Amino acid sequence: MTITVKVPKGLITDSMHVMYRSSICKRIARDSNGRPEPLDGYNGYEIELKRAGNDDTFTAQLFVDGGGPCEWHLSNVRFGVSYPVPNVLGKDVIEGAGGNIIVVFDHNNPQLQTGSSWTAEGPDLNVVKDYYPWIHESYIRGHQKWAMLADEEGGTFTYEARQARNIYFEPVLHRDYVVRSAEPTKHKRGDYITFVYPDGTKQFDGRAVPDFEKMQKVRLGGDGK
């Protein structure tokens, strides 16, 4: 299996989290009543994607079948991009959440679960998504600034792609459209995170992530309101 990531300027690839499972080498868990329950065994590790020549693409090769007496099979992978430290958003801005992709190849839950997922058929999975720079400030445990990526799914896209053997991920970074957010300086009822969009409008309605549709409208020339 080949996984390819096209990395925009200013971002880096994150470590890839790989998980294999085995229905032969079981592990024992406990159910809600404390009784032993056999579950598929798992074996996870991290690898780094390698640059493909002098290009801005990075790749990784994985075995679908790990083999051995346990007959390990590839269960899921998680990979993505993020801002490095230091980064173009400021020397005092630290690394925050980036853009992540989870691909599931079997019927087990992935190593990280999100609210929704998409089903993809066939050997090729091509994912091209829009992202925006997002600077988030927090104050409760000291003042910190985080360099993050805003997208339509809140950080992670999950695909169930049991037949996929060639996976391509291209995050499209609209670096000129920066959204900023700041948490309240104190915990107080009715105070919310304030978002400031590239067109100068503000939003503080209880949401935890930027309004992606508004960002798209601002960039594409709509009123975004």
Q: Residue 184: its pLDDT value, please?
A: 87
**Could you read off the pLDDT of 8-33 as tens digits, one per residue?**
999 999 999 999 999 999 988 888 88
Residue 223 reports pLDDT greater than 60: no
Q: Token digits for 221?
A: 């020339």
User: Residue 189, Cα to own-chain centre: how many angstroms?
Assistant: 31
How far apart are alpha carbons 12 and 108 in whole angstroms? 29
Residue 222 reports pLDDT greater than 60: no
**Could you read off the pLDDT of 169-203 as tens digits, one per residue?**
999 999 999 999 999 887 777 788 999 999 999 99
Which range, of 3-7, 77-81, 141-145, 164-168, averages the lowest pLDDT? 141-145
Q: Is the peptide bond before 86 cis (omega within 30 degrees of 0)?
A: yes
**Could you read off the pLDDT of 73-113 as tens digits, one per residue?**
999 999 999 998 777 777 777 778 889 999 999 999 898 87
Measure the CA angle with vertex 154, ends 176 and 52; round to 5°: 65
Domain residue ranges in the chain: 2-26+38-220
What pTM value is reported for the model?
A: 0.88
Q: Residue 225: its pLDDT value, please?
A: 47
Q: Contacts for 82-86 with beta carbons within 8 Å, 24 or more apart? A: 82/11, 82/12, 82/14, 82/147, 82/149, 83/10, 83/11, 83/12, 83/133, 83/147, 83/148, 83/149, 84/11, 84/12, 85/147
**Could you read off the pLDDT of 31-81 as tens digits, one per residue?**
888 888 888 899 999 999 999 987 899 999 999 998 889 999 999 999 999
Measure the CA angle with vertex 48, ends 44 and 50; round to 5°: 140
